Every structure is written in C-alpha cells, then in structure tokens.
C-alpha cells in the first residue's frame, strides 16, 4: 500500500512529483479546515455539500489539458453549484422536488448520445441532484450558507485543477495521445482524437495521432495476414508486430515528455530489422507501420504548435441535432432506459414523501445503484446490485453503532473522493456507493444515541425498498416498452453494420460532390441509434446462460469497434470537402471489410497538411478490422478471415463504387 502511494506521488521516472504532493496536501488541509469550521459554527451540512461540490466539479471538469478543462469548468460548474445550493431547499415543496428530480434523471439519461464528456456530466449531475434534493443534508440551513459553501467547493476544485496543470498545462492531452501508441483495441484513436479536438487541435499532436492511426491500422492488417497464414511466415509477421509495439512504446515516452531533443536507438529502429529480415520480403503492412512511426518521430521532434484545420462550420450542431432525432423515440434503447430510470425515481420520490422519515434518505440512491444507468436497456445483475447495496448499508450501520465518532468517516470519505477522482469517473457505482455512505453517516449521526439501532434498521429497510422499486419498475417496463428480454445478437449486429454501410456510402458520395445532405443526416441518425443499441447489448448478455463467453466477448468488441467507426464517419462527414475526398480509399477499404472481404490495404492518404483526415482514415481502417474480427468471433466462424457471404448491406441503396 505504501509503495503504491509513493508511486502515485511520483513522476513516470520515479522522482517525487511536487504537483501531486501539493495536490494531496491541499486536499487534506482543506478537508481538515472545513471539518473544524463545520463543527465550530454548526454548518456541517453545508460543509459536506461544499466538499461534494468540489468532487462533482472535478469529476466533470478534469481529464484533458488545462485549457480544455477550464472550458469544461465554465460550462458545467454553474449547474452543479445551482443544484447543490438550491436542492436542499426544495424539500419544503415536495411536488416541485419530485418533478425536478424526475426530469433531471430523464434528461441526464439521454446525454450519453452527445458523447463521453456529456455522459460523465449527466451521471454526475443526476447524482448531485439526488444528494442535494432527497437526502436532507443541509435542509436546516439558509440559502446563503448553502450557496457560499457550494461556490467555495467549486472554486477549490478549480484551484486543485490549476495546481495540477500550472507547471505543465498540456500534460494530460499528451498522455492521452501517447496512449494510442501503447493501448491496443478499438476506439482508442477515436477517443484520443475527440480529446485532441476538445483541446484545440494542436498540429504536432494531430500529426502524432495521424501517425499512430496509420501504424495501428497497418499493425492490424499484419496480424490479420498472420491469421491467414501459418508456419514460419506467420511467426515472423507476429514477431514484427511485437517489435513494432516496442518501438511505439518508446516513442510514446517521447510524446509524453514535455520537451524532446532527440530519440534513442530503439525509437529510431525499424520493426523488420529487429525481427530479422534476412529471407523475407517486406510486406506492404510493414511499410505502413514504418510510415506511421516516421510520422510520429517527425512530429515529436518538430512540435508544431499551430492549430490544425478546423471542421466545417455547424458540424457539431448537426451532430447534436442528429443525436436528438435518433434517441427521442421508443425504438432507442437509450430513450427506453432513461424513461425507465425516470419512472422508477418518480415512484421512489412518492414513497419518500409518504414515509416522512430521515431514514428514507438512502432510498433513491439505492434505487439508482440497482438501475445502473450506464447499462442502458439492461436489468441483468440487478439482483446482485440489490444485495450489494443492502448489505453495504447494513455493514456500515453496524459500524456506526459500534464505533464512537463514526461521523469522522464523512470528511475522510470526501478526502478519498477528491484524491481518487479518476476511479469515480470510471465507475458510477463507486460514486453512488460513496454518496450512500456519506448520507448514512451524516443522517444517523444526527439522531439520538439511544435510537441508533432503530435508525440503522430503518436505513437498511428503506434501501431495500428503493431496490425493490427499481426491480419492479425495471422488469415491468419490459412488458410495456418495446424491448426484449431475449436479445437478438446476430440481428442487432447485422442491422448495425447495414446502418454504418449506409452512412459510409453517404460520406463517400458527399466526397465525390453528390448532393446527399438529407440522406447523410438520415443515415447518421439511424447509425447512431443502431450503435447505441448495440452498445447496450453486452450488458444484457452479461451472465446469460443462453450465450457463451465467446459470443459475449465478440459482441462487446464489435459494439466498441462499430461505435468508434460511427464516430469517425460522423466526424469525417463534417470535415471540409477536400479532406473527405482524401479519405475515399479508406472508406472503400472499410466498405469491403464489412461486406466480408478478406483483404485489407493501407489507404494511401497523403495528408501531411491535413492530419485530421489522415488520423480518421487510419482509424477507420483499424476499427473496420477490429469489427470484422469481432463479427467473425460472434458469428462463430471456425476460420477467422475466411471469405464468406453475409448480407450485411442492401445493395440497392446508395451503391457507390
């Protein structure tokens, strides 16, 4: 444990990291000072809400470069401050509180359609609304005290973010871009590219992304060729790919570095030379790997800080409108699950109002844990989450009864949240569990000592009631909403691939000058809905007895790859016309891959002046290769990359050669 803590407080090279140590010191001092002030002036409720505001703001406004995170702070922090300051006062008007909570839960449940940052904000804002409005923390305080502590919490979060990024403002985005050279799998380039665009599109990082995308695409082609051959040739291809990974890992270190004056011998090596090339002809895929690595080397050494080519005006607005059109329908799994969550929360609020007891403060949080909003159309694992939530409340209640001054765990929990923002951002259940713990500790400590046992029993019982409501509404909704308890894996994948083919061919047609604006918008809406449905499918298959692990794993990989492919196509659709034309070879290659073609060539995109297009071209091919491999696995083909005919597309629609 001590070694792990030392590693977190050190730089990559192992030296002490002053910024991390200052961050940790600031958190501990601020939590200690807030605790002392809260007890001295009897404002523990506002102090808790202020600490939670700081944690919520950090969760929603951290993860990119300092400049991008400051923009996120300006966008998201005011809403969080408002709900944390006003939420406790709404308990005096139950109808208004119930209406607000229901609308917030439904609205934030739809935000994943707009992207990962909005999904994170939506989940965090929903949790903040539940805590501020339904738990009773701070309800006995005036609005001025609540607003003051909420603002102080947000400003403290801003101070922490500036403290981390002041010495090296672009460190986070460099780390994100460098991960494309070291992290395999679909969607990595798409996520890094989205972060790069959010940061402002610095040219040298775009060049790194373009080179990494080309390297990754060529590497996947090389591995696919290795699967189609055998013997020494296949072994040499795999060894060459492994040597390329070693070189890419070394280059990733240079990308993460603040400055780079030169590259060592391994970073300048060629993968075929390290693998031994005495009797082998260099395949085209290996040349593609070298071209990508050369692109990364040049970008790392030159470090052009100018801005890359901007997207076509109005592109983001059209994508947002497309997302709204795609998911405001009962045919959307995202809409169905948002509606399911809203109905369950409305029922939970009605029960809370009827009970009129502080022990009901954990009811809605327990309900939300069981629903697991990120799982979209799934209720699989709900019983396990129910047992975990109730058991956790019981164990914590026993701890409160047995241990004196257990309320001291509240500031310790808030400090842990501030020091572990990344895990909270990645696991929503962990965030809700921390909020349940804080609520339970605060509410129980406010009761008389002789009624502690009764109070803890009441909290456990009300958590169980919330879980029961979630289970009832969740499963009954399957009888009302147009969803299915037995998902059609093959049919969902086929319809998703067909919708992506329609979008892909619309983008190709637009690149050739055809007027397909209406068709492009319709294809984007359909592809967005289909990929979101497919992303929710793995949660429905989790633990299913009718689906084997291979199909479950392949479905998850196909969902991630096809959604990343959809993101690339949607982004390319709103790039300048000249750049769309450059990406035509990649679009053709992906179209053939999805149709069952066993060969894939590295697209020849001479995009030194347009890194955004080249990274999209490479990412398109890589995600297409991942999707093809996952489809093979899901459909149970004994020989991967074997030629087969599957009617994924409708040839009479937008058939463009």
**What value does the mean pLDDT take over residues 325-347?**
84
CA atoms within 13 A on the CB side of 487: 25
Looking at residue 158, its pLDDT comes to 95
* DSSP sequence for 147-173: HHHHHHHHHHHHHHHHHHHSS-TTHHH
Name which of 436-440, 470-474, 504-508, 644-648 the model is least confident about. Answer: 644-648
Looking at residue 405, its pLDDT comes to 80
Q: How does pLDDT run across 249-273, given as a tens digit for each residue?
A: 999 999 998 888 788 889 999 998 8
pLDDT bracket for residue 646 (50, 70, 90): very low
Looking at residue 133, its pLDDT comes to 92
Contact 157, 92 (CB under 8 A): no
3-state secondary structure 467-520: HHHHHHHHHHHHHHCCCCCCCCHHHHHHHHHHHHHHHHHHHHHHHCCCCCHHHH
Looking at residue 7, its pLDDT comes to 53
- Radius of gyration, CA atoms only, the chain: 26
Burial tier of 449 (Cβ tally within 10 Å: 0-12, 13-18, 19+): exposed
Cα separation, 164 vs 159, in Å, equals: 9
| pLDDT score of 511 more than 90 | no
Q: Is 10 helix (H, G, I), strand (E, B) or coil?
A: strand
pLDDT bracket for residue 655 (50, 70, 90): very low
Looking at residue 479, its pLDDT comes to 62
Contact 285, 225 (CB under 8 A): yes
CA distances from 170 to 66, 160, 173, 293, 495 (A): 7, 16, 6, 22, 41
User: Whole-structure pTM over 0.75, yes or no?
Assistant: yes
Q: Kindly give the interhelix angle for 44-60 and 428-445, rounded to the nearest 10 degrees.
A: 180
Cα separation, 245 vs 570, in Å, equals: 29
Cα separation, 64 vs 80, in Å, equals: 20
Looking at residue 115, its pLDDT comes to 78
pLDDT bracket for residue 5 (50, 70, 90): low
| pLDDT score of 575 more than 80 | no
The residue assigned the tokens 């000072």 is: 33
Looking at residue 3, its pLDDT comes to 57
The residue assigned the tokens 């609308």 is: 103
Contact 583, 616 (CB under 8 A): yes
Looking at residue 240, its pLDDT comes to 92
Looking at residue 379, its pLDDT comes to 60
**Beta partners for residue 16, in sequence order:** 10
What are 605's two structure tokens?
Answer: 């995109």
Which of 82-96, 242-256, 533-547 has the highest average model confidence (pLDDT)? 242-256
Contacts of 545 (CB under 8 A, 6+ apart): none
| pLDDT score of 145 more than 90 | yes
Distance of alpha carbon 233 from its chain centroid, rounded? 39
Sign of the C-alpha dihedral computed for residues 101, 104, 106 and 112 taken in this order: negative
Cα separation, 419 vs 24, in Å, equals: 7
Cα separation, 610 vs 620, in Å, equals: 16
Which of 258-262, 290-294, 320-324 has the highest average model confidence (pLDDT)? 290-294
What are 527's two structure tokens?
Answer: 């592809």
The residue assigned the tokens 């969080």 is: 80
**What value does the mean pLDDT take over residues 33-57?**
94
pLDDT bracket for residue 605 (50, 70, 90): low
**What value does the mean pLDDT take over residues 299-305?**
87
**Beta partners for residue 10, in sequence order:** 16
Q: How does pLDDT run across 441-466, given as a tens digit for each residue?
A: 888 776 655 466 777 778 888 888 88
Contacts of 341 (CB under 8 A, 6+ apart): 105, 106, 109, 368, 371, 373
The larger pLDDT score, comparing residue 278 to residue 281, is at 281
Q: Which residues of 522-537 are buried (b: 16+ CB within 10 A; e: fewer)?
A: bbbbbbbbbbbbbbbb
Q: Is 576 helix (H, G, I), strand (E, B) or coil?
A: coil
Which of 88-92, 601-605, 613-617 has the highest average model confidence (pLDDT)? 88-92
Residue 436 has phi, psi (to 5 degrees) of: -65, -45
The residue assigned the tokens 């600031």 is: 26
pLDDT bracket for residue 612 (50, 70, 90): low
Cα separation, 326 vs 246, in Å, equals: 42
pLDDT bracket for residue 585 (50, 70, 90): confident
Contact 145, 380 (CB under 8 A): no
The residue assigned the tokens 């029922």 is: 347
Q: Please report, rounded to a whole number, the percentage of residues in the chain having pLDDT higher than 90.
A: 24
Sign of the C-alpha dihedral computed for residues 484, 428, 335 and 624 taken in this order: negative
Looking at residue 424, its pLDDT comes to 92
Which of 3-12, 82-91, 374-383, 592-601 has the highest average model confidence (pLDDT)? 82-91
Name which of 2-11, 539-548, 625-634 the model is least confident about. Answer: 2-11
The larger pLDDT score, comparing residue 477 to residue 406, is at 406
In whole numbers, what is the pLDDT of the chain averaged over residues? 81
Residue 377 has phi, psi (to 5 degrees) of: -90, 20
Residue 544 has phi, psi (to 5 degrees) of: -70, 135
What are 269's two structure tokens?
Answer: 């090596």
**What value does the mean pLDDT take over residues 211-239?**
86
307 secondary structure, DSSP code: B
Contact 543, 381 (CB under 8 A): yes
What are 482's two structure tokens?
Answer: 């147009």
**Beta partners for residue 202, in sequence order:** 307
Residue 58 has phi, psi (to 5 degrees) of: -65, -40
Q: Please report, rounded to a whole number, the percentage of residues in the chain having pLDDT higher than 70.
A: 83
Residue 16 has phi, psi (to 5 degrees) of: -60, 135
Looking at residue 502, its pLDDT comes to 86
**What value does the mean pLDDT take over residues 380-408?**
79
């Amino acid at each position: 444990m001590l070694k792990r803590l030392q590693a977190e407080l050190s730089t990559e090279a192992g030296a002490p990291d002053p910024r991390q140590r200052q961050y940790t010191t600031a958190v501990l001092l601020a939590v200690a000072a807030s605790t002392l002030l809260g007890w001295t002036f009897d404002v523990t409720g506002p102090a808790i809400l202020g600490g939670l505001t700081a944690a919520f703001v950090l969760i929603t406004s951290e993860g990119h470069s300092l400049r991008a995170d400051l923009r996120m702070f300006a966008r998201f922090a005011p809403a969080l401050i408002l709900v944390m300051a006003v939420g406790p006062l709404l308990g005096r008007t139950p109808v208004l509180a119930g209406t607000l909570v229901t609308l917030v839960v439904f609205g934030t449940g739809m935000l994943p359609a707009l992207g990962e940052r909005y999904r994170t904000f939506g989940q965090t804002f929903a949790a903040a609304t539940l805590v501020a409005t339904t738990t009773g923390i701070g309800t006995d305080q005036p609005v001025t005290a609540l607003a003051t502590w909420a603002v102080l919490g947000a400003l403290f979060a801003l101070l922490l973010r500036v403290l981390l990024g002041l010495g090296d403002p672009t460190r986070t985005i460099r780390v994100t871009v460098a991960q494309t050279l070291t992290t395999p799998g679909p969607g990595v380039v798409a996520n890094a590219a989205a972060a790069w665009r959010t940061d402002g599109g610095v040219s040298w990082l775009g060049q790194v992304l373009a080179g990494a995308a080309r390297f990754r695409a060529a590497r996947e082609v090389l591995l696919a060729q290795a699967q189609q051959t055998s013997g020494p040739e296949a072994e040499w291809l795999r060894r060459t790919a492994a040597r390329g990974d070693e070189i890419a890992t070394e280059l990733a270190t240079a990308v993460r570095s603040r400055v780079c004056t030169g590259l060592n011998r391994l970073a300048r090596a060629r993968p075929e030379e390290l693998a031994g090339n005495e009797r082998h002809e260099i395949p085209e895929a290996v040349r593609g790997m070298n071209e990508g690595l050369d692109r990364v080397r040049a970008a790392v050494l030159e470090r052009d800080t100018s801005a890359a080519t901007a997207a076509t005006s109005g592109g983001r607005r059209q994508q947002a409108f497309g997302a709204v059109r795609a998911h405001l329908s009962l045919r959307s799994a995202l809409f169905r699950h948002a509606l399911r969550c809203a109905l369950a929360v409305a029922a939970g609020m009605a029960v809370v109002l009827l009970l009129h007891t502080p022990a009901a403060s954990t009811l809605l949080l327990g309900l939300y844990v069981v629903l697991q909003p990120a799982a979209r159309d799934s209720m699989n694992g709900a019983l396990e989450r129910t047992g975990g939530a109730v058991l956790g409340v019981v164990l914590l209640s026993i701890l409160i009864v047995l241990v004196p001054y257990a309320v001291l765990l509240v500031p310790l929990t808030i400090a842990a949240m501030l020091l572990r923002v990344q895990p909270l951002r990645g696991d929503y259940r962990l965030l809700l569990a921390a909020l349940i713990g804080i609520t339970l500790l605060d509410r129980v400590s406010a009761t008389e000592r002789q009624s502690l046992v009764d109070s803890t029993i009441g909290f456990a019982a009300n958590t169980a009631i919330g879980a029961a409501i979630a289970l009832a509404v969740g499963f009954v909704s399957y009888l009302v909403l147009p969803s299915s308890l037995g998902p059609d894996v093959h049919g969902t994948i086929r319809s998703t691939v067909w919708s992506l083919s329609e979008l892909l061919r619309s983008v190709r047609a637009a690149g050739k000058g055809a007027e397909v604006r209406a068709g492009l918008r319709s294809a984007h809406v359909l592809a967005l809905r289909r990929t979101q449905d497919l992303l929710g499918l793995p949660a429905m298959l989790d633990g299913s007895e009718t689906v084997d692990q291979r199909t479950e794993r392949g479905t998850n990989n196909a969902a991630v790859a096809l959604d990343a492919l959809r993101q690339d196509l949607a982004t390319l659709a709103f790039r300048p016309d000249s750049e769309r034309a450059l990406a035509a070879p990649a679009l053709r290659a992906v179209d053939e891959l999805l149709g069952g073609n066993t060969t894939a060539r590295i697209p020849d995109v001479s995009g030194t002046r347009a890194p955004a297009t080249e990274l999209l071209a490479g990412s398109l091919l890589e995600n297409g290769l991942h999707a093809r491999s996952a489809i093979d696995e899901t459909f149970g083909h004994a020989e991967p990359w074997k030629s087969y005919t599957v009617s994924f597309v409708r040839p009479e629609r937008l058939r463009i050669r």
